[in-house]
A and B are shown apart, each in its own frame.
Chain A
Amino acid sequence: MNEEHSQEDAVTVTGLRYAFDRTGTAVDGLDLTVRSGEVFGLLGPNGAGKTTAIRCVTTLLPVPAGMVRVFGHDVTTDRMAVRRLLGYVPQQLSADGGLTGRENVALFARVFDVPRRERADRVAQALQAVGLAEAADRMASTYSGGMVRRLELAQALVSAPRLLILDEPTIGLDPIARTGVWDHIMAIRAASGMTVLVTTHYMDEADQYCDRVALMHQGRVRALGTPRGLTDDLRARLGGDATPTLEDVFRDVAGSGLDDQGKGGEFRDVRRTRRTASRVG
């Protein structure tokens, strides 16, 4: 793993540990480097510590042990600078149903200090970029799950983030909506060159869209590399003709522990996932 803290790296995590009072250790000595401009996937089952790690990077959680930097800014001492560089889409579908799509995005333009004279144009461009220009003046409560996700993307993009952080962006969405969300992410990233840090437990998405992935299990990174590199390594090690998938790589590094999902710390995560899924319908 890359141990040097280059200013060029989008995210540098060293020795991060985080334990919840009630549910115990979630992140247990995490080391991670996300390079500027790449799409980096943090993979793992529910309870692997992905969301906790992400919440430390986004300044939502304190960093009790270890160090986290975003483009060289320490997340504990330089929070405001870090937040200005971030676009964040949390796991839950979190648009405000009592506002229109446009108003939802305008709020984020305001809280990122977009000057008034360019606010309307910027908001319109963000909505355009995610294919919601037509639906912009409808109440967000009338949006489908995929549309809400794209609206959240527009909220995150309106401030031109250098680092877009997506926590399970396609959870609970149907396959077409999933592709739609990813297509928009990839198009904007191609235009802006922003870095994308995404957590997912859909291995196929990681395989298709991520430049590099880290496989996380029980609070640590167990394997790191390009999706292709990881599967090739496994094939070389196992021999035989079958091409392994990322999921096979995962089973290989996590061992039997992968099926052990009954740990207490996962309940909140699972409950969130279910709530999101039920809201999407």
Chain B
Amino acid sequence: MSENVEQTGCPSFDSISAYLDGEAEGQETAHIESCAHCQRILASLRTLDEVVTRSCQPPEGLSARILAACSADRETASPTIIPFWGRSLVRYAAAIVVTLGLAFAVKQTVGGTSPDHASPTPPSPTIADVGTGGIGPDSNPIDPGMTRVVSADGGNTAPVNVMPVAKRLVTSQVSHVWGGKSLDRVEKDLSAQLPEGAKWGLTRDNAGVSIQASLTDEQLQKLVNGIHAQGYDLFSPELPQPNQEERVKFLGGSKKIIYQARFVNVNDN
């Protein structure tokens, strides 16, 4: 049962809590250390802190998955990168080319009858626009303009202003919520999509159908694609997403992921 904190002469609960964190005032510290009532509250707070800390422990293998994700991100971001300082030069070069091109075009229009321009040279292809390289709608709001990826052909094709899609590992446990117009066929639909020999279970209640399965990341991606193809809509943002294999860094091998899916009825009738 919780200890009653209301006791005459004792510091407030806030102060006892602050004492636990080494943030109490000197005068209060002396009282708390010598008061049996405060000590009992303190003991319950220590137990609480231990329980909360234990319950928030990270999953096993987290560091390895982070390093793999960083490695995958580095591979994805490998195309030619124009560094920040280089972009200014490219912009200046582009501006000069465009200005010269415009000046040439104006001169052609105004002085077109001049014998000097009897056989005008067709305008040469220009870089025209290499993008601002700044904070546009497609730039990353957190790392604005830190890297800019262009095609490896040196920019002779259409301007490119694309941030690489960073691949991510699928987490060790994935929960998805799916919507379907009818849930009668969920079991049959899933049986057709799940790989042979996969461990899975299904429960049905008044509100929908829940499944749990143990799959590799590649099997899970195929399953998600398959469920989507059967006409169900995925409401959850977590990877893997239907037909978006390019966003996932597949580990391969036999490491299993716990997949939990909840199917709910979205029939308007």
A and B bind: no
